[in-house]
């Protein structure tokens, strides 16, 4: 049975008391990992157990060019992670495990291709399914199994690559026009999405079982499962037909959905990460959040020392309670709603102050 860390219990008590008072030390500290430009739609994933984040983006001051695959680490700065034989081609790191092995995708002369690599073992291509021409890898677990999709004439198909890099198609759903896998847990459960006539539906492939569509919040027609923990719980969003209004959701292994609520500032929310204790992070109302069963949804801006920073999105949380969060400097005189679209993207590791 998973047990919450002392830091998580401290935070829960603060949450239950209604937040952090002026006399209370903030429960989290910020460690800056790097700064990216707004160009090329930055992608940030993690943290793994070492506090590392996988990135696709362009560092401020790195000159001109496209998106680059990077690994950010506290105290070590950014390390570039090119795809196999990519040369100067754009690449993105979409997933990183606790050993520092990473997966992503890079452009080739003919198609986008998935890759996997490590600091010591080099980089290799993750080939598509037979007959397909393209592939992208989104997640990698502690065993080195990777997931993503393979595409070709038959469309996108969710795929899992074994530790040797051999691809295998995940079972599809009846009527699915496309499927993709977003994450794989340490026990081999996979979270993802299927495109059906009714819309995009969140899917969970529990190891050894048939794929299961997950419940949507009442009135919603679309959704996606973004990640899954070792307990078989998936998180993501349930949303409207247009996708403009989203509700952050955690799904039990049986597919039952729990809405996580929202924050002041807007009705839309999205869950982006979870750990094995069931803590969830994401974005709501333009602010990064942490959700726990004990304390509900909390604005991460309220859990760090006051500053001009606006923390807008939390993309992941590890089992130690460390959180990767994105933010920007607020405009002088207040939180300018346009600053997040023009200011450099600052990336932080939030660490529990008491661990």
39 located within any domain:
no
Tell me the CA distances in angstroms from 66 to 38, 63, 191, 296, 328, one per residue in order: 12, 10, 29, 39, 21
For residue 110, being part of any structural domain is answered with yes
Q: Residue 210: how many CB atoms within 10 A of its CB?
A: 8
Please state, in angstroms and rounded to a whole number, the distance separating the CA atoms of residues 257 and 250. Answer: 6
Q: In a 3-state reduction of DSSP, which class is residue 108?
A: coil
Token reading at 220 = 């919603």
Residue 201 in tokens = 């539906």
In whole angstroms, what is the distance from residue 112 CA to residue 263 CA? 37
Which residue segment(s) compose the domain that 102 sits in? 45-169
d(CA 355, CA 291): 18
Beta strands in 77-218 (DSSP E): 77-80, 91-96, 102-107, 112-118, 122-126, 134-140, 146-152, 155-161, 167-169, 178-184, 190-196, 199-205, 212-213
133 within domain boundaries: yes
203 and 211 Cβ atoms separated by less than 8 Å:
yes
- DSSP labels, 335-347: --TTHHHHS-EEE
Structure tokens at 29: 């500290």
> Which residues, including other chains, have CB under 8 Å from residue 45's CB and lie 6 or more apart?
53, 54, 55, 93, 94, 95, 96, 315, 316, 324
pLDDT of residue 15: 43
CA 202 – CA 172 distance, rounded (Å): 13
Residue 233: both structure tokens together: 């719980």
122 within domain boundaries: yes
**Cα distances (angstroms) measured from residue 18 to each of 83, 312, 350:** 47, 21, 20
Contacting residues for 142 by C-beta, under 8 A, at least 6 apart: 97, 98, 99, 186
User: In Å, how far from its chain's centre is CA 213?
Assistant: 20
For every one of its 355 residues, what pLDDT tens digit does the chain have, with 9 covering 90 and above? 334 443 444 344 344 444 454 457 789 999 999 999 887 678 999 999 999 999 998 888 766 666 788 999 998 888 888 777 645 667 899 999 999 999 999 988 789 999 999 877 789 999 999 999 999 999 999 999 999 999 999 899 999 999 999 999 999 999 999 999 999 999 999 999 999 998 999 999 999 899 999 999 999 999 999 999 999 999 999 998 776 789 999 999 999 999 999 998 778 999 999 999 999 999 999 999 999 999 999 999 999 999 999 999 999 999 999 999 999 998 765 545 545 556 899 999 999 987 6
With respect to residue 351, please indicate whether it lies within any of the assigned structural domains: no
Domain count, the chain: 1
- At 64 the pLDDT is 61
Radius of gyration over alpha carbons of the chain, in Å?
A: 19
pLDDT at 335: 46
Rounded Cα–Cα distance for residues 345 and 33 (Å) = 11
Q: What is the DSSP string of 273-331?
A: EE-TT--EEEEETTEEEEEETTTEEEEGGGGS---SEEEEEEEEE-TT--EEEEEEEPP
Asked whether residue 66 is domain-assigned, the answer is: yes
pLDDT (0 to 100) of residue 3: 41
- On whether residue 147 sits in a domain, the answer given is yes
Token pair recorded at residue 337: 């709603």
Q: According to the model, what pLDDT value does residue 242 have?
A: 72
Residue 13, C-beta contacts closer than 8 angstroms, at least 6 positions apart: none
33 domain-assigned: no
């Amino acid at each position: 049975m998973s047990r919450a860390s002392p830091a998580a219990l401290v935070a829960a008590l603060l949450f239950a008391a209604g937040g952090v008072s002026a006399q209370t030390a903030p429960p989290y500290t910020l460690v800056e990992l790097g700064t990216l430009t707004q160009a090329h739609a930055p992608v940030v994933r993690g943290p793994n157990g070492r506090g590392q984040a996988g990135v696709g983006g362009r560092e401020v001051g790195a000159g001109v060019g496209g998106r680059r695959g990077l690994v950010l680490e506290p105290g070590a700065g950014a390390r570039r992670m090119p795809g196999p034989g990519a040369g100067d081609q754009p690449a993105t790191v979409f997933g990183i495990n606790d050993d520092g092995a990473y997966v992503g995708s890079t452009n080739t002369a003919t198609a986008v291709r998935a890759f996997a690599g490590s600091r010591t073992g080099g980089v290799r291509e993750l080939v598509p399914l037979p007959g397909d021409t393209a592939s992208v890898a989104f997640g990698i677990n502690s065993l080195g199994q990777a997931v993503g999709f393979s595409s070709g004439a038959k469309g996108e198909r969710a795929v899992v690559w074994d530790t040797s890099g051999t691809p295998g198609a995940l079972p599809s759903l009846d009527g699915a026009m496309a499927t993709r896998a977003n994450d794989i847990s340490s026990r081999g459960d996979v979270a993802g999405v299927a495109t059906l006539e009714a819309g995009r539906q969140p899917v969970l492939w529990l190891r050894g079982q048939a794929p299961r569509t997950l419940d949507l919040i009442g009135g919603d027609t679309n959704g996606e499962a973004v990640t899954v923990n070792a307990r078989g719980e998936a998180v993501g969003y349930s949303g409207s037909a247009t996708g403009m209004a989203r509700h952050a959701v955690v799904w039990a292994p049986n597919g039952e959905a729990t809405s996580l609520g929202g924050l002041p500032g807007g009705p839309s929310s999205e869950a982006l990460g979870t750990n094995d204790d069931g803590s969830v992070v994401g974005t709501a109302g333009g602010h990064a959040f942490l959700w726990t069963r004990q304390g509900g949804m909390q604005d991460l801006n309220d859990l760090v020392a006051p500053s001009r920073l606006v923390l807008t999105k939390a993309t992941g949380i590890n089992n130690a309670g460390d959180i990767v969060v994105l933010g920007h400097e607020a405009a002088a005189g207040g939180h300018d709603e346009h600053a997040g679209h023009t200011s450099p993207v600052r990336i932080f590791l939030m660490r529990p102050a008491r661990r």
